[in-house]
């Protein structure tokens, strides 16, 4: 683990350069725009990220601030302001990405035929509720050293963009999408991200523990249909309160809280690089 930031959440403020339309589901466009920016800044790194198997070290939000659209289309006016959220789970990736915006001139982000001026990039925790940085080492020790209390047995998360889990049934030859915040899925996936970032091995223990000792105590969620170019995807958004019924396995209770903080940067579920699965712990927003 390192002392420099490993985890970055950036809020990129945008202004539309011209009138036009965009599909209301822009996650695939944002994904392409991100890789194009990375390709200009560091072609070798861009290719390495593109070729990675499994989870990519970044997440992207949909466009915010431009309304919800009608009939699958957003009408955008020149000068209209909005923002896009990007999280980066690697210091080299952050340096390459931010370098693109520091080269001089007025940087732009292109989503298909529409272009947006980048007016500001926010990364400091006090600059925007969804911006910030952290280190894996600090995140680890924060929950190791905090005095244990019953408050740790309740974890409240807000799923901000449509979230779904891609599951495979051994008896069925294809994957299916699950759109409920089941504790073993949420915390099991987060533990998998933690393990890949740190080299620890906690996923199986977390998944087994969450299946027995963690329940959804309250929720207020709804589902949304996303229309990508190659098909549709359903996901859920909203607030979920998880209750840890056990009070004896203190190390695992601490780790679940650590994972809830990690989720601010990693997201959870499928298509997190295309606008899905961004979430944050209550109290962080």
Report the pLDDT value the prediction gives residue 284, as an integer from 0 to 100. 61
Report the pLDDT value the prediction gives residue 171, as an integer from 0 to 100. 67
Report the pLDDT value the prediction gives residue 53, as an integer from 0 to 100. 87
Q: Domain boundary at 64, 95, 122, which?
A: 122
* Intervals of the chain under pLDDT 50: 1-2
CATH code of the domain covering residue 105: 3.30.70.1890
C-alpha distances in Å from residue 173, one per residue of 43, 54, 168, 170, 179: 37, 19, 8, 7, 20
What confidence tens digit (pLDDT) does each residue in 166-188 have? 997 766 667 788 999 999 999 99
- Cα 59 to the center of its chain, rounded Å: 5
Cα gap 257→120, rounded to integer Å: 32
Examine the domain organization and report whether 151 and 271 are in the same domain.
yes
Examine the domain organization and report whether 205 and 68 are in the same domain.
no
Report the pLDDT value the prediction gives residue 196, as an integer from 0 to 100. 95
Specify if 34 maps to a domain.
yes
Cα gap 247→192, rounded to integer Å: 23
- The packing angle between helices 91-101 and 43-51, to 10°, is 130
What confidence tens digit (pLDDT) does each residue in 132-158 have? 999 999 999 999 999 999 999 999 999
Specify if 95 maps to a domain.
yes
């Amino acid at each position: 683990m390192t002392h420099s930031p490993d985890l970055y959440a950036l809020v990129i403020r945008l202004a539309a350069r011209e009138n036009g339309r965009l599909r209301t589901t822009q996650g695939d466009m944002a994904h392409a725009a991100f890789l194009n920016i990375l390709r200009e800044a560091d072609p070798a790194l861009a290719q390495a990220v593109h070729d990675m198997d499994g989870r990519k070290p970044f997440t992207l939000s949909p466009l915010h601030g431009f309304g919800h659209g009608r009939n699958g289309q957003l009408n955008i006016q020149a000068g209209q302001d909005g923002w896009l959220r990007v999280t980066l789970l690697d210091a080299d990736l952050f340096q390459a990405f931010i370098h693109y915006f520091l080269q001089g001139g007025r940087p732009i982000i292109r989503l298909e035929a529409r272009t947006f001026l980048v007016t500001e990039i926010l990364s400091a925790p006090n600059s925007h509720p969804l911006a910030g940085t952290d280190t894996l080492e600090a995140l680890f020790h924060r929950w190791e050293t905090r005095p244990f209390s019953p408050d740790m047995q309740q974890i409240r998360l807000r799923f901000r963009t449509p979230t779904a889990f891609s599951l495979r049934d051994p008896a069925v030859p294809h994957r299916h999408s699950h759109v409920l915040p089941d504790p073993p899925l949420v915390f099991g996936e987060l533990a998998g991200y933690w393990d890949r970032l740190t080299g620890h091995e906690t996923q199986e223990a977390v998944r087994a523990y969450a299946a027995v000792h963690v329940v959804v105590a309250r929720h207020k969620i709804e589902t949304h249909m996303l229309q990508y170019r190659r098909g549709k995807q359903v996901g859920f958004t909203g607030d979920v309160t998880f209750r840890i019924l056990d009070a004896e396995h203190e190390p695992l209770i601490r780790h679940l809280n650590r994972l809830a903080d990690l989720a601010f940067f990693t997201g959870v579920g499928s298509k997190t690089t295309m606008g899905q699965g961004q979430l944050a712990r209550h109290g962080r927003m």
